[in-house]
Amino acid sequence: MQDILVNWTPQETRVATVENGVVQDLHIERTLERGLVGNVYAGRVARVLPGMQSAFIDIGLERAAFLHVADVHVPGVGHHGRGPQTDAGVAPPLIEKHVFDGQTLIVQVIKDPIGTKGARLSTQISVAGRLLVYLPQDEHIGISQKIGSGELRDQLRQRLNKLVGTREEGGGGGFILRTNAEDATDAELADDIAYLRKTWSEIRAAAMRTPPGSLLHEDLRLVQRVLRDLVGEQTQSIRIDSGMQFEALRSFGQRYMPSAVARLQHYQGDRPLFDLHNIDQEIERALARRVDLKSGGYLVFDQTEAMTTIDVNTGGFVGARNFDDTIFKTNLEAAWVIARQLRLRNLGGIIIIDFIDMVKTDHQEAVLAELRKQLGRDRTKVTVSGFTQLGLVELTRKRTRESLAHMLCQPCPTCQGRGQVKNARTVCYDILREILREARQFDPQEFRVIAAPAVVEMLLDEESTHLAGLSEFIGKRISMQAEATMNPEQYDIVLM
């Protein structure tokens, strides 16, 4: 069973999903840094790049957004960016035939700006409701892959087809039935269809009267998305610690999701809601480089711009009868923890896992099966490629928002994100070389070195012979000044 905890403050909303006392998911939204995924804008084409089959679109943000040909809606082609059928197969459309400089387009953000990259856009618009996703430019009727058998899916598709109607009946547009709509009534589905079509009509009307760069439609805030996206049959309670947001969420639920209202609870305890379930400690663990396993092994996460690597180590685990079993049990536990950590950390892109080498093929298969099983619980699309020749597991996880570390942290001002700094002796030798360099260009009476205390101490103690030798060689006095506020690599050489 699952409990959803919502911690709300005016500046930040935090949501944690807890199963059997263990935190499985974390979602954080800051009022001043809200994500843009799902938002619809009136965009102006700033530049088309035929060589890259892409275009830069101005949607009123600091950086121009990016539109690739695969995300361009082509009338008559459908919602997948594929070109017409040819003798040779499927021909991709050419972006320059559908997009031109200065053109105004209705575009939707499908990836937030991440690092130095602008937002990624699509002209294939989709509007999410409680039970359905509306594809206004398509005629496709789809059913969530997580819904049961083929027979059930066919029945649901037939029901939805009748409710949607045809263009002649004032209908049109495609719909995808969401997982939580499996048991929805025809009346509930009809209400959602009407709401989504009305929303699309309002988006189009706004696009006609507002200038390029305007926001036409904004996705729900995190508090409301809890009911729309996170609540399922296994959810037994949704606890929120703000009376105002509890009332707002109850009102929203009564209108769009009546079945969830009974599970809403206003938490009024003395202890903070997240403290009660040790959520803040889980957030700290999800920011750490090392994650300890109960068996005594541990994981090491290294997140770079290109990919994330995860190293599995046995550590002090020697509990099994033989070494192969020790390795197998450590890797099995690691597979479970890794899947959970990917969700908690919201890691996306290419992920490489270096499990401890296993001799037995059946052990490899069992670990891979456990990893796939745990990743199957992820709401974000994950593709696992299996073991490579080098014994590594490659997988990709769809990246739509910043990772937890990028959202909550910044690069260390001392090491600039390298994870290490020069030692004191290296900085001493940097200083000695710099003094020699400046002595050849300038003729001061004295050189004064201002540096971190550990560096000054080493220059006056272990490196005093080299310092004295340099002073004699250049014929100038060299004095020292320790500055506690300087980081280990920082120093200044003042010409006196």
Helix (H, G, I), strand (E, B) or coil at 368: helix
In a domain, 239, yes or no: yes
- DSSP for 115-155 reads TTB--EEESS--EE-SSEEEETT---EEE-TTS--HHHHHH
| CA–CA distance, 457 with 442 (Å, rounded to integer) | 26
In a domain, 55, yes or no: no
Whichever domain contains 457, its CATH number is 3.40.1260.20
Tokens of 52: 């890259």
Total domains in the chain come to 4
Tokens of 197: 């079509």
Query: Are 388 and 298 within one domain?
Result: yes
Per-residue confidence of the chain (496 residues) as pLDDT tens digits? 899 999 999 999 999 999 988 999 999 999 888 889 999 999 999 999 999 999 999 999 889 999 999 999 987 665 544 333 334 445 568 999 999 999 999 999 999 888 778 999 999 999 988 889 999 988 888 888 777 677 788 888 888 888 887 655 556 788 998 877 777 788 888 888 888 988 899 999 999 999 999 999 998 899 988 888 888 778 999 999 999 999 999 998 887 778 789 999 999 999 999 999 899 999 999 999 999 998 888 999 998 888 999 999 987 655 556 778 888 999 999 999 999 999 999 999 999 999 999 888 999 999 999 999 999 888 888 999 889 888 899 999 988 778 899 889 988 888 888 888 999 999 999 999 999 999 999 999 999 999 999 999 999 999 999 999 999 999 999 999 999 999 999 999 999 9
Query: Are 484 and 382 within one domain?
Result: no
| CA–CA distance, 72 with 81 (Å, rounded to integer) | 6
> Looking at 237, 254, 279, which one is the last position of a domain?
279
Q: Which strand ranges, in their side-by-side order, compose the sheet holding 12-19?
A: 22-30, 12-19, 2-9, 235-240, 264-266
**Residue of 127, 137, 198 lying closest to 167 (CA atoms):** 137
Angle at alpha carbon of residue 191, lines to 254 and 247, rounded to 5°: 15
Q: Which strand ranges, in their side-by-side order, compose the sheet holding 477-482?
A: 477-482, 446-451, 491-495
Query: Which value, to the nearest 10 degrees, does the dihedral of the CA atoms of residues 476, 481, 487, 490 take?
Result: -20
Query: Are 244 and 298 within one domain?
Result: no
466 is in which domain, residue-wise? 424-495
Pairing, β 141-143 against β 174-177: parallel
**Cβ atoms of residues 27 and 222 within 8 Å:** yes
Q: Is the dihedral of CA 4, 338, 13, 220 positive or negative?
A: negative
Whichever domain contains 235, its CATH number is 3.30.420.60
